[in-house]
A and B are shown apart, each in its own frame.
Chain A
Amino acid sequence: MRGLEVETRKGRPVLLVVLVVIAIILVSIYFREGEDGVLHRSRAVALAASEPVAIAGEWVSTPFRRVGGLASGLAVSRTEYEELRVQNEEFRARLAELEEAGLEAERLRGLVGFVEEQDFEYVGVRVIGRPTTSWEGALIIDRGENDGIRTGMPVIAAQGLVGQVVEVSPGSSKVRLITDQRSGVAALVQASRAEGIVAGTLEGPMILDFVDAEEAPVAGDVVLTSGMGGIYPKGLVVGDVVDVYDERHRLYPTIEVESRVPITEIEEVLVITAPGTAGDEAGQ
């Protein structure tokens, strides 16, 4: 009799059970321990270890982004491009550098102008890492503890609020975005002054919660930080209301808010190291 026998490598259910139990214990410890706990601190170590890789990734991807930007810019004036073909190689490289520098200067002018208006103390930082899985909204920035960055500090861009520093290593930090499902921002609607909490979601737009139906905003209304809770300074743009609707199972109307910050493109942000006095002076 002839046949086939499959040589198998038997599984060990005991190993699976042990590892599952260890994982559950880890999750449990994570929630029970404080910010100074072993697991939280190990994440700061992982952040420091991954910093060179994140910087290398950003360094490698930047020329591709620049070339992409250059190609789209040249497509607009192809005739001109043909006339300058002789000087093309040198010119293209130079143009890319200048365009990049110009865009960067423009972005930084916007950022600094916005922050100076608010009279914040801040540190300008570059984004060196973006979310590593589809399930989280976090950025890695190139400044850390050695530059005065601490957990809890708000992070902003010219378009508005970006998030909050949640992990700090000596040379880099992790910023949890306001769009992350673990984020919550005390906010108010600019037009009606109705207060609520803007929470990030996994599935897309943020939700402004705890606003009574009578005070519900309309699409297009601007949502700002309310300053309640003391984490984010008052008056930062959180986003714009894009939809308002009632759901039977919810006590409050569902208010969808879209952030103005282009998270996938953002390259520089500011970390607010100390709140300004402009708001206080205005109130006196």
Chain B
Amino acid sequence: MKQAIPSILALLGAAVLQVGVAPRLAIGGVVPNFILLVVVTLAMVEGPTAGCALGFAGGLVLDLLGSGPIGVWALVLCVVGYLTGMLQERLFAEGWLLPVTVVFAASLVAAFGYWMVSSIVGEGGAFGATVLRIILPSAVYNTVLAVLVYPWLARLLRREPAVETVRQFR
């Protein structure tokens, strides 16, 4: 439980930013998603289980803050957190390019997933226009934010130095 405290604090911080700051950073109706950034970062440093659990919790927070059906963001972000964590298992490259690419891909998957589930429950929009107006711009916006935020967030959430995840053996 003690080990989960930084993750919970990061999620609370992201929720505060999502309500207090994100709406003021909106460009053309596109709002950055701080909760997604925290979920993806945690999944990359902690793996699929933590990514999945925090994704569900973060998604639930987004659902409660929004006005759409409750459960859709929880569903989408727990899958995105899990998939991102699976990537972490297979990739161990350091540097900024990989995480930024992963944030871009995760944002695309999350937005597409949200559109898909919303469409199933009868609340989705036309696919082409939604891609151009929301899915792609949000992914780009989140990626730009990730460049600024990821190094600090990863340092906060990482429980051990990254180099220890690679071990030599004879």
Contact = CB atoms under 8 A, between A and B. Distances in A.
A2 interface: yes
B49 A61 contact: no
A16 B23 contact: no
A12 B65 contact: no
Interface stretch (B25-33, B96-104, B145-153): B25-33
- DSSP majority for the A interface? mixed
Determine the interface band of chain B, counting residues with CB < 8 A from chain A: 35 or more
Contacts of A174: 67
B6 interface: no
Interface residues of A, number: 58
Contacts, number: 187
Given A54-B19, A57-B21, A130-B24, A136 B53 contact: no
Nearest to B114: A135
A9 B125 contact: no
- DSSP majority for the B interface? helix
A50 B21 CA distance: 12
A1 interface: yes
**Which among A27, A135, A180, A182 has the greatest number of chain B C-beta atoms within 10 A?**
A135
Contact of B59 (A15, A23, A56): A23
B49 A12 contact: yes
B23 A132 contact: yes
B143 interface: no
A52 B169 CA distance: 54
A74 to B, nearest CB: 23
A130 B26 contact: yes
Given A1-B170, A53-B16, A9 B47 contact: yes
A61 B56 contact: no
A31 interface: yes
Interface stretch (A199-207, A266-274, A275-283): A199-207
A219 to B, nearest CB: 19
A212 B80 CA distance: 44
Contacts of B29: 131, 134, 264
B77 to A, nearest CB: 9
Interface in A57-87: 57, 60-61
A51 B74 CA distance: 22
A6 B89 contact: yes
Given A4-B168, A11-B86, A134-B30, A24 B71 contact: yes
A168 to B, nearest CB: 13
Given A53-B16, A202-B129, A26 B64 contact: no
A4 B165 CA distance: 10
A16 B72 contact: no
Interface string A25-63: 111111100000001001100100010011011001100
Interface of A: 1-12, 15-16, 19-20, 22-31, 39, 42-43, 46, 50, 53-54, 56-57, 60-61, 129-136, 138, 166-167, 174, 176, 180-182, 201-204, 264
Given A61-B24, A130-B23, A180-B67, 14 more contacts: A4-B167, A9-B50, A11-B52, A19-B74, A23-B59, A23-B71, A23-B74, A29-B71, A30-B71, A43-B70, A46-B64, A133-B62, A134-B29, A138-B66
30 contacts: A2-B170, A6-B165, A8-B47, A10-B48, A10-B49, A11-B49, A11-B85, A11-B89, A12-B48, A20-B79, A22-B74, A23-B56, A23-B59, A23-B72, A26-B74, A43-B64, A50-B19, A53-B20, A129-B19, A129-B23, A131-B29, A132-B23, A132-B65, A133-B31, A133-B66, A136-B66, A138-B67, A180-B67, A202-B124, A202-B130
